[in-house]
Amino acid sequence: MNAGLDGARAVADAVLYEGYLLYPYRASSGKNQSRWQFGVLGPVGAGEAGQGEDPSLGSEFLVRAGNRDLATVAVELRFLQLQRRSAQAADSEGRFAEVAELSVGEQSWLSWDEAETREVSLGPWRLSELTDQRRERVEIPAGQEVEPVGPSARLVRSRRALRGELRVQATPVGGELVRLDVQITNTTLASAVEHDAVIAASFIGAHLLVTLEHAEVLSMTDPPEDSAVAAAECRQHRCWPVLAGPEGDSSLMLVSPIILYDHPEIAAQSTGALFDATEIDEILTLRIMTLTEEEKAAARATDPRAAEIIDRCDAMSPAELAQLHGVLRDPRAAGLDSDLGIDMDTGIDIDLFAPSDDAPWWDPAVDGAAAPETDVILIEGVAVAAGSIVRIHPSRRADAQDLFFADQTAKVAAVHTDVEGQRHVAVTLLDDPAADLHEWYGRYLYFAPEEIEPLPTHPVASRQSGHREENRP
């Protein structure tokens, strides 16, 4: 078993259930009456009819394999299958019929669409066997279970059969590099082209976990220089591949319908899933705690996973709640030479504020040594400070909006240091007609030093003399 697979599955579970049920977790909430999640693969024809989503998801990524006869690849398909939970009560003649809500003692259930996790393991195959495309059928049988909950009450859970097809192909692209193409398609035929029938025939939250043995999977977010061109030629359809193991592990790839960074992890501060897309755990937990007892009971009756969230938040201790507030790290704790003021990772003179031993580093009263308008940072051996002219090169992992500024020239307004010791260069674009206005009220664009190229000739504000001088590297 791959040592990083458990951690990768934990992240994959977060992808699987993201958006499964939204706060306030009640069926009566309008946003919970129409299921919507990431990575939904609709049945055949649903997308064209406007009643469902595209039936497929696929990714191309690079693998480095010295011996393709020895290297193997295995694929695990994971998704949610809709399960109709029918709350039923018997009449005087013992005939059961569905009811909107069923109560037995202090417990209640609604008729509701739950979901069950499906995992299908395929392979392993040798890379040398995948030169021609391999097709594997996926069969999920129909099912029904009856759960008595009282002498004249029951829950009936039913699922329809699902079918799909996985396609895998390995194409050599030069040297030891191989482009691996994995695609999953829902081939189920919906019983009707209506929303309820379509979602019952869909793969929900679909994603793939790809495991390599005797081969190395390469990052598509930040590929090695010798594979950057081949990586740029890889195509993605409704997903993004990320290295899924711990740092240093190159044997796992998560093909995710949500764009993630490489080596994603579940935050240590998290006490459990909350499902509500993009919400901050602390804020959402506090909201749950403000629900009335009647609202909590309605959530528990809606879905057992909602009941687990409500119960977990109710039982949360003050220490667990405080943990959700986040972590504040001492920037001097690691990676800094306090005597030299050098960031040991970058070799840059950070000139970090240095409070006395009897004053906490985060106290605003002792951070006067940080002066963003006059601080200087060395980039590529060039001193950069307020007034410097630079060119912007946003990284591949930059905010999407920052990418619009690629290769534009800008003027540095300040050099900032955050509480973790990271440097940020504040700039205004030279070609922006509103640059003077932005500078007047302090609205800047911020880039990391590695995203900044100092231009050969630029003015630098001297911290010692207070006058401006020309600096030529």
Per-residue pLDDT band for 429 (boundaries 50, 70, 90) equals very high
What residue segments make up the domains of the chain, in order of their start?
A: 5-319, 336-471
Q: Structure pTM?
A: 0.71
Read off the pLDDT of residues 236-251 as tens digits, 9 standing for 90 and up: 999 999 999 899 999 9
pLDDT given for residue 392 in this prediction: 93
Cβ atoms 57, 39 nearer than 8 A:
yes
The two most distant CA atoms of the chain are separated, in Å, by 98
What is the distance between the alpha carbons of residues 306 and 456, in angstroms, rounded to a whole number?
60
CA–CA dist 201, 53 (Å, integer): 11
Print burial letters for 85-109: b (CB count within 10 Å at least 16), e (below 16).
bbbbbeeeeeeeeeeeebeeeeeeb
DSSP assigned state of 133? P
- pLDDT tier at 368 (50, 70, 90 boundaries)? low
Q: What is the pLDDT of residue 457?
A: 60
Give the model's pLDDT for residue 444: 92
- Residue 361 pLDDT greater than 50, yes or no: no
CA 97 to centroid of chain Cα atoms: 42
What's the rounded mean pLDDT across residues 96-106?
A: 93
pLDDT per residue over 135-153, tens digit each? 999 999 999 999 999 889 9
* pLDDT value at residue 396: 67
Q: What is the pLDDT of residues 285-297, one digit of tens each?
A: 989 999 999 999 9
Q: What is the pLDDT of residue 267?
A: 80
Rounded CA gap, 26 and 294, in Å? Answer: 11
pLDDT at residue 65 is higher than 70: yes
pLDDT at 1 over 90: no
Would you list the DSSP string of 212-257? Answer: EESSEEPPSSS--GGGHHHHHT--EES-EEEE-SSTT--SEEEEES
Burial class (CB in 10 A: 0-12, 13-18, 19+), 466: exposed
Instruction: Classify residue 387 as exposed, middle or buried by CB count within 10 Å of its CB (0-12, 13-18, 19+).
Output: middle
When pLDDT is averaged across residues 448-453 and rounded to a whole number, the result is 92
Q: Which two tokens stand for residue 246?
A: 């711990």
Return the closest-CA partner of residue 71 out of 227, 244, 251, 212: 212
Closest CA to 412 of 453, 380, 381: 453
| pLDDT value at residue 460 | 44
Rounded to 10 degrees, the C-alpha dihedral 86/92/94/100 comes to: 0
Q: What SS3 state is found at 84?
A: strand
